[in-house]
Amino acid sequence: MLQLFSLSIVWTTQRRYGVIEGVEVSEGVYEVRYIVEKPSKPPSNIAVVAVYIFDKRIYESIDYAREHARGEVQLTDAIAYLVENYGGVYAVQLKPDECRLDIGTPQSYWHALKKSYEYAVKGGEIEG
């Protein structure tokens, strides 16, 4: 079984993330039917976050992923290949008491460092 961990977020920030369409197969678990990287018109409000668990088929899938304008190969394209050719890709929604810290921009990375430090020094939960 392949797994892709994801988090549901609001529409207004959706363009910063890859997004899935899926079918909820149990509470908070979605079978991925479609995935796209940073869409201008998101097909859902379930954003992909960068915590992945794959089997060895991901390497074959990366070979089939296309190179984008800046010379990058998007992992999202490799995941789409897995979905289309193998299935068995699942998204697990974070629970309300779980915290995700974004590190996609210098500001959010700094925020995550501060929150991680506070957690390490003070203990307890990380809030926003």
pLDDT of residue 9: 55
User: What whole-number distance in Å separates Cα of residue 76 and Cα of residue 53?
Assistant: 13
Q: How does residue 81 score in pLDDT terms, banded at 50, 70 and 90?
A: very high
46 forms bridges with which residues in the sheet? 8, 20
Q: Are 10 and 97 in contact (CB under 8 A)?
A: no
Domain with CATH 3.90.550.10 in the chain: 2-94
pTM above 0.85, yes or no: no
How do residues 20-76 score in pLDDT, each as one tens digit? Answer: 899 999 988 889 999 988 888 888 888 887 778 888 888 989 998 888 877 888 888
pLDDT of residue 2: 58
Helix H or strand E encompassing 63: helix 57-64
Question: Model confidence at 110, in pLDDT bands (50, 70, 90)?
Answer: very high
**Tell me, what's the pLDDT at 78?**
92
The CATH code of the domain at 2-94 is 3.90.550.10
